Amino acid sequence: MVCHECDLLIGVPGLDVGQKAYCPRCNFLLAANRPHALKMVFVFAICGFGFLLLSTAFPFLGFSASGQERTVTLMQSITILVSEDLPSLAAIIFISIVLIPGAFLLGAIYVSTALKMNRLLPGTVTVLRWVLMLMPWSMAEIFLIGILVSFVKIVTLADVSFGMSFWAYVLFTVCMTVVMLYPDKRQLWNRVRSLSDE
């Protein structure tokens, strides 16, 4: 493989559980076979998907200013954009903060279930390919940072409160980050490849 930091070409051997491989030139972490990676992906993907569903079910943010109160749900924040004549923006936001993360987590649950059972379920290779392809398009954490930035601005105009869905979305983002960063992609591919060769 090629080192992401310094472009050195390195032959990385298969790693035992707990082993890590670093670039000999720049010490960049190339690969890691972390313990219980599949179990972690499976548990955090299920929890993350649950939190994502919860985050669409309850009030997300509450505003009160000059005696008037209003709460919005996550879905309302998207439909408001449609009613403001910004349907393409609404579609992009819905796809990048709900649809793609949801599909990613379902795919991760599917692949980790197959690998835990030590056999390929129908379409495991295709699902893994899609999961890895969708990963960079999930904007959940960017959305969360965006909310916090606008919170700082809005708080001077109105009292803002975070609803239950907001906290569910925060927990979903944490789970999503663990699922994205914990497993080693190379190890996943090796595992799938060795199963499909059997």
* Interface with Zn ion, residue 6, by CB under 5 A: yes
Buried b or exposed e, range 85-110, using 16+ CB within 10 angstroms: eeeeebeebbebbbebbbbbbebbbb
Other beta carbons within 10 angstroms of residue 62's beta carbon come to 16
Structure tokens at 57: 């079910």
Q: Which is nearer to Zn ion, 32 or 90 (CB)?
A: 32
Per CB under 5 A, 3 contacts Zn ion: yes
Is residue 44 helix, strand or coil?
helix
Should residue 20 be labelled a site residue for Zn ion when binding is judged by CB under 5 A?
A: no
Interface with Zn ion includes 5 (CB under 5 A)? yes
Instruction: Kindly provide the residue ranges of all beta strands, DSSP E only, lying in 55-103, ordered along the sequence.
Output: 59-65, 68-73
User: Which span (12-20, 27-35, 90-98, 142-150) binds Zn ion, by CB under 5 A?
Assistant: 27-35
Q: Do residues 54 and 165 make contact, with C-beta atoms less than 8 angstroms apart?
A: yes
Instruction: Give the one residue of 2, 26, 29, 164 binding Zn ion; rule: CB under 5 A.
Output: 26
Contact map string, positions 28 to 57, toward Zn ion, x by CB under 5 A: x-----------------------------
Residues of this chain that interact with Zn ion (CB under 5 A) are 3, 5-6, 8, 23, 25-26, 28
